[in-house]
A = this chain, B = another copy of it.
């Protein structure tokens, strides 16, 4: 176990519900002794990768955030998509999400949420199941058959009663998604929530998905799809401008 691995273990402790951690919490979470954590965290703080506030809690630092802006996710995809997402947000007034496929999950790259919107779990950095989210179903639908088969061979979690956890049922949904060019979810991730999502296709590959999350009562796929497709096209155009 290398020192670098241990330091990265510490960084990996920061999550959606753990954005500020005490030294003792770092120690408990990583299984490393207090003094080891203290020493490694001190280096991370000195280098700006962690920040330690007056409350003595550690938070992810500006230095790490700055490096992250150079990742293709941020530098390329997110930045190219942002103006189109902003327009989409203004036109719909709903929750807007942009996600990529990573490690068999939908990784949320961006989320715009307003006051009228319903609470969602899809914040930037969140990882959610492919089969229960609009963007996730799109990401899965456009994978090669072997990847789909592999994904469906593992047990599918069922966060809500409506989630499609039966592989055959899900396969049909994925086929429909491909046939019409967009996915629909109804209370498959969160009760009361529905979504529509479309793929962002480059050279025949689905590089990301963009979706709108709405209250079930406001779900109107044809209206949302038209708007989403314009946004997706704008994002593709921007990405191709970079190539």
Contacts and interface: CB of A to CB of B under 8 A. Distances in A.
Interface residues of A, number: 54
A55 interface: no
B65 A68 contact: yes
A102 interface: yes
Given A47-B8, A79-B123, A72 B87 contact: no
A227 B67 CA distance: 32
Contacts of A40: 4
Interface in A121-149: 123-125, 127
Given A8-B49, A43-B4, A74 B65 contact: yes
A89 to B, nearest CB: 5
Contacts of A125: 65-66, 68-70, 74
Interface string A45-70: 00101010000000111111111111
A75 to B, nearest CB: 5
A207 interface: no
A73 interface: yes
A112 interface: yes
Contact of A71 (B44, B61, B75, B79): B61
A82 interface: yes
A16 interface: yes
A183 to B, nearest CB: 23
Contacts of A83: 89, 112-114
Contact of A14 (B12, B67, B73, B123): B67
Contacts of A124: 69, 74, 79
Contacts of A232: none
A43 B5 contact: yes
B112 A19 contact: no
24 contacts: A3-B4, A4-B7, A4-B43, A8-B43, A8-B47, A14-B70, A15-B70, A18-B70, A19-B72, A59-B70, A60-B68, A60-B72, A64-B64, A65-B68, A65-B125, A66-B107, A66-B127, A67-B68, A69-B123, A69-B125, A74-B125, A79-B124, A83-B89, A86-B90
